Structure formats: structure tokens, C-alpha cells
């Protein structure tokens, strides 16, 4: 998670790795007065062009104008960084013939017309269009975010991938898969028996990492994880 005081400048380091992967890292500074308004910001990028070589248009995700695509992706990332995501997970169970189900929704959605949301520092470097997504938060919002660091929330990591040809939908799916990976990792390490259902919340702690390689988007997340309920199966 990157916080920035509005009265201080933030130094930014963009790192573009050669090949098919584009990566961004952040470096920020904050002021000493906690009463100042804050900005949550994250590096976001989209491809300037759709994936070449996709012959069947039905297999390709919807094409949005670049500015709209950046706004939509910024909403997804900043929802997870500002308010967090709520999830419900049902693990796959072959013996019980239960399919895996993972639902992920924002605790508080950010509307694309929200005046607190802004896209700044647009920069094109083929084949990417980079920007900083920023969301201004009030003191009340700041206090709620701080609560995540004071409650007994775990720190966990996850990685997920999705098809590059799905474009924006593929990026969102990669983030969902990364979030699911966080929950699955927790279950493997902490529960002896497979549960029927797990519910909880997570908040993105650090700037999420997104790159594209081998026809896939891959997202990596570091989050605060709060498990709200674990429902066990009765005797099988």
C-alpha cells in the first residue's frame, strides 16, 4: 500500500522489463502531520493494442477506449487497496461432489465518476500505456484503513493468471485468481480438514504487481487477510 500526503511530492520509478512483461514499482514519501488528507495511489497499465494473432473475435475480451480501460482497471485496484474485498470460498471436494466456488466483491465500490478518483501521469511506451491511479480519502477512511494494521489480520501473498486475449476482463480475472490463491494458501497451512465454506475480507497491503508473458496476465498480491467464518462439514 502506498500513501502520500497531498503536500509532498512523490518520486516515481518506472521499471520496464524487456520482453513481454511490463512492471511498475513505487517509491513514496509522506508528511509528518497525520491530520492531512491522504491519497492512495497505484501504478496501472494497459496495452495500447489488443493481442495480435487472435483469429476468433469471440475469444477476445471487450475492447474499451484506452482512457476508459485505465479508469475501469484503476477502480478494481483501488477498491482493493482502499476499502478491501469481501470473499466467500467453497473448496473443491471430489468425494462430496462439490465444485470450487470463489466469490469476490468490493466492500465499497468506487464509481468511475467519483471525483476522488483520478488518473494522472499518463505515459505511453509501446506497447504499454502507463498511469498512476489515485484516490483521495477522508480522515474517517484513513482511520478505517489503519484498523487493518491494528487488528489481528494476517499478511498473505497470492498469484493468479488469466488469458491475455481477454484484455481488461483477463486482468480482473488474474486479480481474482490471485485473491483465491491467498485464501487457498491460508487453508493449506492452517486447517487440517477441508472446510465447507470460508468467508472473510482482504485489503491489498502493497502495490499489486501485474505482468504479461506467454499469452497470460499474471497478478501478484500481498494483502491483509481477515477470516470471518469457517464452516466445517459434518461427519462424512
**pLDDT reported for residue 56:** 58
115: CB partners within 8 A, 6+ apart: none
Residue, of 219 and 63, whose pLDDT is higher: 219
**pLDDT higher at 27 or 151:** 151
**Residue 65 predicted with pLDDT over 70:** yes
Which pLDDT score, from 0 to 100, does residue 153 have? 73
User: Cα-Cα-Cα-Cα dihedral of 27, 143, 132, 180, to 10°?
Assistant: 90
Q: Is the pTM of this model over 0.85?
A: no
**pLDDT tens for residues 123-155?**
999 999 999 999 998 887 878 877 887 776 789
**What residues contact residue 184 under an 8 Å CB cut-off, 6+ apart?**
89, 91, 158
Tens of pLDDT, residues 148-171:
877 767 899 999 999 999 999 999
Tell me what percent of the residues of the chain surpass a pLDDT of 70: 80
Instruction: Answer yes or no: is pLDDT of 236 > 70.
Output: no
Q: What is the pLDDT of residues 172-191, one digit of tens each?
A: 999 999 999 999 999 999 99
pLDDT 10s digits, 95-107: 899 999 999 999 9
Give the integer Cα–Cα distance in Å for 220 and 208. Answer: 6
Whether residue 44 contacts residue 135, with contact meaning beta carbons closer than 8 Å, is answered with no
Counting every residue, how long is the chain?
Answer: 236
What's the pLDDT score for residue 235?
58
Give the pLDDT confidence of 194-208 residue by residue, as tens digits.
Answer: 999 999 999 999 899
Q: What pLDDT, on a 0 to 100 scale, did the predictor assign at position 113? A: 93
Respond yes or no on whether the N-terminal peptide bond of residue 7 is cis (omega within 30° of 0). Answer: no
Amino acid at each position: 500500500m502506498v500513501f502520500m500526503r497531498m503536500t509532498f511530492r512523490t518520486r516515481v520509478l518506472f521499471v520496464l522489463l524487456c520482453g513481454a512483461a511490463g512492471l511498475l514499482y513505487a517509491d513514496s514519501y509522506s508528511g509528518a502531520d497525520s491530520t492531512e488528507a491522504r491519497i492512495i495511489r497505484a501504478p496501472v497499465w494497459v496495452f495500447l493494442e489488443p493481442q495480435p494473432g487472435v483469429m476468433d473475435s469471440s475469444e477476445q475480451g471487450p475492447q474499451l477506449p484506452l482512457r476508459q480501460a485505465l479508469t475501469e482497471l484503476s477502480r478494481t485496484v483501488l477498491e482493493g487497496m482502499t476499502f478491501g474485498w469481501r470473499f466467500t470460498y467453497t473448496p473443491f471436494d471430489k468425494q462430496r461432489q462439490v465444485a470450487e466456488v470463489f466469490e469476490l466483491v468490493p466492500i465499497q465500490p468506487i464509481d468511475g465518476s467519483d471525483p476522488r478518483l483520478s488518473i494522472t501521469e499518463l505515459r505511453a511506451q509501446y506497447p504499454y500505456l502507463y498511469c498512476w491511479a489515485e484516490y483521495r480519502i477522508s480522515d474517517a477512511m484513513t482511520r478505517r484503513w489503519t484498523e487493518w494494521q491494528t487488528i489481528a489480520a494476517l499478511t498473505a501473498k497470492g498469484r493468479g493468471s488469466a488469458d491475455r486475449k481477454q484484455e481488461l476482463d483477463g486482468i480482473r480475472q488474474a486479480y481474482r485468481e490471485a485473491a483465491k490463491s491467498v485464501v487457498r494458501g491460508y487453508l493449506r497451512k492452517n486447517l487440517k480438514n477441508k472446510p465447507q465454506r470460508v468467508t472473510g475480507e482482504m485489503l491489498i497491503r502493497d502495490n499489486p504487481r501485474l505482468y504479461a508473458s506467454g499469452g497470460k496476465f499474471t497478478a501478484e498480491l500481498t494483502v491483509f487477510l481477515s477470516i470471518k467464518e469457517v464452516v466445517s462439514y459434518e461427519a462424512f
